[in-house]
Amino acid sequence: MTKAIKLLTALPQMQRERLMELAKEVSFPEDTRIFEAGGTADRFWVIRSGAVHLDQQVTPLRRVTVASLGAGDLLGWSWLFPPYQWDFGAEAFSQVRAYEFEAPPVLALCVEDPLLGLSLVRTVCEVLAHRLEMTRGKLLEQYSLPRRGTL
């Protein structure tokens, strides 16, 4: 499996610096719901410390963790794609410190600086591809059938 893509370190330094001008430092106490599936996706975060679980509501009383994120990871990508709604929920598994970015100013910066926009979209797509690969691996591991010739 490939190594996780870290948004800020994947961007070229000059573009990272421009993006960081829009960052706001935030924190979430342990067990805080950061967002819910179906809610309006108008921002994203880069986790500085702590852990966040992405989850999916599978029954009215049960959520299943689909991914765990930590330092350097991108939290939230739905702000980039219509209909701009969260696909999963997110909860702070521990005290979390993060950089928060509001989507409208980031999108305006991407229009102003198309190279930054292209780099950002490519990096977010790499993050998504990595997470899809990780999810695929988990599913294959969990639901794999015994190989022929084994009991």
pLDDT at res. 37: 94
Sheet of strand 43-49: strand arrangement: 24-28, 96-102, 43-49, 74-75
69 neighbors 55 (Cβ within 8 angstroms): no
Q: Given this model, what pLDDT does residue 1 score?
A: 44
> Global pTM?
0.86
CATH number 3.30.360.10 is the correct assignment for the domain at 7-143: no
Tell me the three state secondary structure of residue 18. helix
Q: For residue 96, what pLDDT is reported?
A: 98
pLDDT at residue 136, as a whole number: 77
Predicted confidence at residue 50, as pLDDT, reads 97
The domain locations on the chain are 7-143
Phi, psi at 110, each rounded to 5°: -65, -35
Q: Which two tokens stand for residue 121?
A: 């979209």
Counting as low any pLDDT under 50, the low residues of the chain are 1-2, 150
